[in-house]
Amino acid sequence: MRNSAIFGVCGSIGKSLLANLVNKSKKNSNKLYCYDNNEENLFYLKKKYNNQKNVLFSYLDIRNYTECLKSLKNIDVVYHVAAMKHVEICEYSPIEAINTNALGTENLINASRENKVKKFIYASTDKAVNPTNVMGTSKLLAEKLVTAANLNNGGGTSYSTVRFGNVLGSTGSIIPLLKKNFFNNENLTLTDKKMSRFIMSMSKAVDLIIKCEKLMKGGEVFIIKMKALLIKDLIDVLANELAKKYNKKVLKIKIIGKQYGEKLYEELMNEEEIRRSYELKDYIVILPAYGE
């Protein structure tokens, strides 16, 4: 029997990962422990899986080390997808972002080591590459903590990272926001005509996490191959499709300027990482620098 734990289960990726793992667990007696500090969403998610006796939900804040330690007893695999994710919120609450994204990750790392967890998978973001904002910087620090956890690891835990682009349909991502503008008859907002982002589907994001868990040895950063997309093109297509579907006029696009902490474009890896990266069919794997 292999028990797993998801931290940040109420987020978009957490919920999709849960659905994927529940589907797999129907064939065995593995237990799946689900944690989040969003009480309301945790309540409704628990209701949804009420008939799944092997899926257990608890309220937990990863900034509380004592609770992290207790939560990981008899756990084999940790999926860490909990984070403060919104750039603007992190800019104005930097200490909270560091406490959650970096120190919270360190709590889970140490708790995993103490409980002799076998595998630890951390979900990061392309904003951690050459970061220009607090969110990206805190996620980069968390990535470094995860990689470094493999050094002199007496507990036998392997720690690896998956690095995402923008996940379509996730909480706070562009499509739900544009739909909200559209149905409220508001102008569709665009920060800059030159702004681009790496885009991936929710299913691809979850596939990357599952693939990482199977392939990881410890210390790697896994990145799915993605194409960059101009946000203006995405807005144009979405505006026209919504207008056709609901028989409404195409709303105007309002240029609002680059927001505090935003980058015009993201990167999948930095120059130093390129020299120790390897290309697989659908993925790029960056090996840890300490293995050289």
Whether the Cβ atoms of residue 150 and residue 159 lie closer than 8 Å to each other = yes
* Catalytic-labelled residue, pool 15, 127, 139, 263: 127
CA distance 30 to 54: 7
Is residue 127 annotated as part of the catalytic site, yes or no? yes
What is the sign, positive or negative, of the torsion defined by CA atoms of 65, 33, 10, 159?
positive
CA distance 6 to 34: 5
Tokens describing residue 37: 């500090």
Q: Which long-range contacts (CB under 8 A, 24 or more apart) does 70-73 make?
A: 71/5, 71/33, 71/35, 71/111, 72/5, 72/108, 72/111, 72/112, 72/114, 72/115, 72/117, 73/115
Length of the chain: 292
Whether the Cβ atoms of residue 3 and residue 30 lie closer than 8 Å to each other = yes
First to last CA, the chain: 36
Positions annotated as catalytic residues are 127
